[in-house]
Amino acid sequence: MIDLYLLIVNNFNIVISPKIEQIVIFAIMEDQTPKPARRIRYKGTHPKSFNEKYKELHPEQYAEDIAKVMLQGRTPAGMHRSICVHEIIEFLQIAPGQIGLDATLGYGGHSLEILKHLTPGGKLYATDIDPFELPRTRDRLASFGYGPEILNIKKMNFSEIDQITAEAGLLNFVLADLGVSSMQIDNPERGFSFKIEGPLDLRLNPKTGKSAATLLKSISQLELEELLVLNADEPYHQKIAKAIHLAQANGITIATTTQLKEIITEALEFLPEEYRKEDVKKSCQRCFQALRIEVNDEFSALEKFLEKLPEALHSGGRVAILSFHSGEDRRVKKSFQRLFRAGIYSEVAPDPIRPTVEECSTNPRARSAKLRWAIKG
């Protein structure tokens, strides 16, 4: 009987027979193709936390599932559904060879539709300050075939529109969507939503400035009252500001979204029970909005943008601005009307354009949107 010895060398199975002085390789290298990583496991029948939503966070792999979510009138986590796309494209009248700006790139939904009308020879500039979403959107648009030859994305605030025109020249059209993107709201680590636990941050660029939690530590009760009124028209501003100030005076640190929600809820316990829940929800929305506007200096940025805008447009150039609350819309309306009276704009929207009933039914986040436009003389 021949003695056989089995060795594994460099992933080869080798049989050695010392008596016949022969080496026989009887199996070729084993399959080294890496196995795909298993998705995150979760308890129950459906994922609840943001990181567990494996289908919605990778929509390209689960198109049918994403479509079902949208048909239910919901926005999949990690995605964003652009609003008034048809109305915006129809007004801007984009033509091949034009140069334009998407001042608030976000998820890139508006930009994707704009790019379809620019070829051949056109160029779209796009700006955003979110350091996390911007590279993802760049990759997403590149996957559709829109690279740097037609799309120039810059990490900057739209208030610096004069820097864009210094490079690009005068623009044929400009779009600004002033809303917060759904992927920012849905990610608890960004702290934009009171509905899920997360750090009370609210910064569009978490790498600069101070968070909402830091702001609350330094602001006085009176200053907070004024902030809630000016930035969100909060009717219960005095009671909410007092509750926040008292909580911190008693050593309570307001560091998370749910901690702030609980304080607001307790401050409004005096409301009649039959509509307390809905009123608390609305006050939470307004308070988070007011803090977000403050930490990102949004009104100041918008006002600078509106002042520089006419000088950025060609004669006949068109601008469309989509806003989501009264403070933004008021500033856009007043700027357009003032510059119209001065003869700088030849036409402005007489009334805001609202999303259709059909769009609001499939995308509830569109309900508060107002679209205003202007044409340079």
HEC states along the chain? Answer: CCCCEEEEECCEEEEEECCCCEEEEEECCCCCCCCCCCCCCCCCCCCCCHHHCHHHHCHHHCHHHHHHHHHCCCCCCCCCCCCCHHHHHHHHCCCCCCEEEECCCCCCHHHHHHHHHHCCCCEEEEEECCCCHHHHHHHHHHHCCCCCCCEEEEECCHHHHHHHHHHHCCEEEEEEECCCCHHHHHCHHHCCCCCCCCECCCCCCCCCCCCHHHHHHHCCHHHHHHHHHHHHCCCCHHHHHHHHHHHHHCCCCCCEHHHHHHHHHHHCCCCCHHHHHHHHHHHHHHHHHHHHHHHCCHHHHHHHHHHHHHHHEEEEEEEEEEECCHHHHHHHHHHHHHHHHCCCEEEECCCCECCCHHHHHHCHHHCCCEEEEEEEC
Beta bridge partners of 313: 171
CATH topology of domain 85-182+298-376: Rossmann fold (3.40.50)
On whether the CB atoms of residues 309 and 217 are closer than 8 A, the answer is no
Which two structure tokens, joined as six digits, stand for 121?
């020879």
Mean pLDDT, rounded, for 56-74: 55
341 dihedral zone (left: phi>0; alpha: psi -120 to 50; beta): alpha
Residue predicted with more confidence, 45 or 195: 195
Query: How would residue 19 be classed by pLDDT, with cut points 50, 70 and 90?
Result: very low
Over residues 106-163, the pLDDT tens digits come to: 889 999 999 999 999 999 999 999 998 899 999 999 999 999 999 999 999 999 999 9
pTM score of the predicted model: 0.79
Q: Is the pLDDT of residue 187 over 70?
A: yes
d(CA 204, CA 295): 9
pLDDT over 80 at 7, yes or no: no
State how far the alpha carbon of 25 is from the alpha carbons of 5, 17, 28, 31, in Å.
Answer: 12, 11, 7, 16
Query: How far is it, in rounded angstroms, from Cα 366 to Cα 134?
Result: 22
73-77, 104-108, 201-205, range with the lowest pLDDT: 73-77
Instruction: Say if residues 303 and 331 touch (Cβ distance below 8 Å).
Output: yes
My answer on whether omega of the bond before 120 falls inside 30° of 0, hence cis, is yes
Other Cβ atoms within 10 Å of 291 Cβ, number: 26
pLDDT digits (tens, 9 = 90+) for 227-278: 999 999 999 999 999 999 999 999 999 999 999 999 999 999 999 999 999 9
**Please, are residues 84 and 353 in contact by the beta-carbon 8 Å criterion?**
yes
Angstrom distance (rounded) from CA 365 to CA 177: 13
CB 254 within 8 A of CB 248: yes
Domains of the chain, residue spans: 85-182+298-376, 206-295
| Residue 81, pLDDT score | 78
Q: How many CB atoms lie within 10 A of CB 31?
A: 6
